[in-house]
Amino acid sequence: MKLTAGMRVKNGELWAEECLASLSEFVDQIVILDDGSTDHTPDICRGFPKVTHLIRWEKSFFQEGLDRNVVLALAKDTEPDWILFLDIDEVFEEALAGQIQALMQIQDCGIWGFRMLHFWKSRTHFRVDGRWGEETLGHVHPRLVRNVPSLFFPPQPIHGAHVLGAQGRPLLSDLLIKHYGYAHAEEVVRKCRRYREVDPGGDYEHLLDESGLQLVSYEAARRFLNGGWQHADCD
């Protein structure tokens, strides 16, 4: 089955190489909306042959839902059977490359969800204290969806990453998404500042608060998710 990956990006040069190299192993095409990057992100994207659509849209406003619907339209233009959505600072576990076709072959499934690990100021440990752990344990990210006409993203200005309108049974994969957006200390500060600018009423204090910091190693991720992790797994 044909699979197209779609994403919106802005200033993602820290992660673009790894993300696109990983995707290139198992998708047929990659479509990208660049939201006005001022770094080398567009140049890195152009260096990958499977990036067949790269549109640059420099605008004076931030509207994530709108951007993601543009990405959806670009993906649909490639006429795929399935579409995979992710962000430039995310990487799926390597095992997905060998399992992706089997996931798409399940006849009554319309969408696959994945859990996400938020790596904290490193690429070896993810954060689990407070709402970080609640999000990792309780939040499912629907990212792999069968291409049907009813798909759309809600018109949310921020945090509108979940596609709606899927048809078929939703299933949860045991494979994980590794989120590296907080793996660099300076990026944590930048993200917090950006979120406050576009969403002044939002609560983003947890991005800077490390008072109850608790980290778990990637090797212990499944023990944590299954409730069997030990305090020795934490730093």
What are the pLDDT digits (tens) for 176-228? Answer: 999 999 999 999 998 888 888 888 888 888 888 999 999 999 999 999 999 85
Tell me the pTM. Answer: 0.94
DSSP strands (E only) in the chain: 3-9, 29-34, 51-56, 82-85, 90-92, 109-118, 125-127, 141-146, 169-179, 215-217
Q: What is the CATH number of the domain that holds 116?
A: 3.90.550
How many separate domains does the chain show?
1
pLDDT of 35 > 80? The answer is yes
Q: What is the mean pLDDT of residues 111-123?
A: 97
Note down the domain range covering 146.
3-233
Question: E strands of 119-194, at which residues?
Answer: 125-127, 141-146, 169-179
Question: Which pLDDT belongs to residue 47?
Answer: 98
CB 111 within 8 A of CB 168: yes
CA atoms in the 13 A half-sphere facing the CB of 196: 12
